[in-house]
Structure 1
Amino acid sequence: MTKRIATATTLPQATRRNFLKQAAATAALLAAARKLLPSGAYAATATPEVTAAKLGFIALTDAAALIIAKEKGLFEKHGMPDVEVLKQASWGATRDNLVLGGEANGIDGAHILTPMPYLMHTGKVTQNNQPLPMSIVARLNYDCQAISVAQEYAETGVGLDSSKLKEVFARKKAEGKEVKAAMTFPGGTHDLWIRYWLAAGGIDPDKDVSTIVVPPPQMVANMKVGNMDVFCVGEPWNEQLVNQGIGFTAATTGELWKGHPEKALGLRAEFIEKNPNAVKAILMAVMEAQQWCDAMENKEEMAGIIGKRQWMNVPTADIIGRLKGDINYGNGHTVTGTDLYMKFWKDGASYPFKSHDAWFLAENIRWGKFAPDTDIKALVDQVNREDLWREAAKELGVAAADIPASPSRGVETFFDGKIFDPENPSAYLDSLSIKASS
């Protein structure tokens, strides 16, 4: 006798109604899950070799993807329940803990300034110049850093054009005083942004000012006591500075280069070699977190989460404005609803374009961190593992439209009209009048 399997069409009417209600409820649940985590349900993948990894972060808004992946259980969802997201005191501490490695009480990877893996990989910033093989496996964000200026310079009217500081800085130096420009790590993104901004206005960052290193969370306190004249750092510290009335924002970095790459997810190459499936799991968790962070309806919740004591220990009011593109520059200029907010996923923000890494290397050649004959393409190919990002994205079910067709975003244009063609970095360097060699 043939056994009939009950279906929606063969069930008794009352049971059928229950079946349809349950189906509708399930569909609603899946829809809600998709809204929370846009990539949708996790497809089974190869089991991670380990369940743990130690990832460092600095108290900056652009570490949000790692924090949210931890807080929302996304590492656990992808088979990595024991991932630790560990606060680092400075970028120097991040470097030192990466050199140690997770197995020696250091870290396996980190939220990191994009140029740092290159500087470490080549031994430029490590003890005894010992190279530490590093890889970039994802970008974490675009935009939303800023250049802040002490309140004493408000009357100069300085903004995107730094030349308004040239004369006042020269006068201060003539009086025997030091002009200090603070950034967060030599050769890092903030160092390069403030150098670019100063040089575009005719101020030589190697001759006309003294560059100093200050960890991001200490910027505001140091400007309050007069330890620097200008600084460049990520959020929320520029917004906090304005909220405390200590200084003002001259320019956001998105105004220097709209849609610029900023932080990366860097991993020790050894960790990748030993744990390829774990790396893929980490990437998928971070990608889902980036999509969640990018949704405007999640910004308030996100600011509340990352502002917690164990993460950034910062009030939501110091985080939320610039997350949404609402900027109080602190000099009487206020804008709302701009597109200068931090991007975590939109427009390829998660994908590590090789062309972007090429610009960072070119700028570090400009300022003497790398030799002029550095083979930029070869070095980028060693460190940039965009192939791992692509594998993880496909396994996660990321839409084809969200996976860049090329590792190059092409020619980039900066606020001062300079052009960077990743196929011809030398032409870009030749076009710059102020550089280390000058």
Structure 2
Amino acid sequence: MKFLVKTIAALLMVAVSFASNAQTILIKNAKVHTQTSAGVLVDTDILIENGLIRTIGEGLTADSALEINAKGKVVTPGIFAVMNQVGLVEIGAIAGTNDAGVEEIDGLGASLSVDEVFNPKSTLIPMNRAGGVTRTLIKPYNGTSLFAGLGSVMDMSGDYDSLIVSDVAVFATYGEYAASLNGGSRAAALRDLEQAFSQANEYLDNAGAVKSGEYRELDYSLSDLATLGRVLDQEIPLVVSVNRANDILTVLDFAKSHELALVLEGAAEGWKVADKISKAGVPVILNPMDNIPSSFESLNKRYENAALLNKAGVRVMFSSETHNAQNVRYAAGNAVAYGLPYDKALAAMTNAPAKVFGGASNYGKLMPGFKAELVVWSGDPLEVTTHAEQVIIDGKVTDMMTRSKRLEQRYKDITNDNNTYYRK
């Protein structure tokens, strides 16, 4: 009871603090991509109060509101960057700035969680935020295990309380890399996956006896088995990196046999078995810019992959890079150029990840009652010449300053020596 009272009190304090910091913002005369059945609205206003979208319509007014003139500009939900190590890596080649995973790990590694080591003050956060990224799904690297660990959803506010949802998915791999971890054999890798989930099932059915030592000794840690138990209960999805068409079918069969919520990542040859992916109801995360085979398992990569998967009825999402997560919108534009409908491309980096990884109840669409997490663009967000003019997270206008802009300002004027570090 004491814990409950303290928890409620803490939540009330957070709510009061949030309300006091929230802004009233009125965006005027924008072209609004709602990502709802309302479609695209022109010359439309958006009123934001207490961190939420209060009203969308024409001719709105609000006393004491921060007014943003968006005439000729475009408003979309914020970019949800998926599958990266933002906040975990600063300089990939320097180990001291890299908390994205463990090269060698004992056991499965399925329970490795990284949200507690997320650095909200990383220079990559303002850089990507200024490019329109408002939240990200971070994950560990794959090391020497079939499982990389757990991924979490973080916001890009730069605040220390950046966690949105912890441990929303387990990440694994299958195919050439998985085979290399298992003596060069896909069959051995599949056997290990089967054994891991079989023992997780045992643990679910006999958790009390296992913990008390009254059950046979299992091969994996209890934390790993409990994590896989969440996947077996369909509490969180299993995201499997896989590329070759027949490997994709193997993973689909594996997920079906264990009744798992599955997400495919990579899926270089997904277009070849798009109908089967669609029939299984499995979403796909891919990079629309990736059409050069980097291995034998990806010989049939093509730019049309996203369009062909979407045509078959597959929900498509776009992966993102760590240092340049904001460039996912350029990849989306490339997908549109190769046949993906515009609204689907926009959804692939906003609404679709919210539905799959959490937050769909209040994020990823522009409508009353939803979180005010959006971007005001200078023009079409899928065009390379467009830039984000305002980024709003939790109903607050964020700082658009980045390290690059500071360097530009510092060294732009070379007519005098005032740009040296030790002079003010």
TM-score by length of 2: 0.27
Q: Whose helix proportion is higher, 1 or 2?
A: 1
Higher relative contact order (CA 8 A, sep 6+): 1
Task: Give 1 or 2: higher strand fraction.
Answer: 2
TM-score of the pair, normalised by structure 1:
0.26
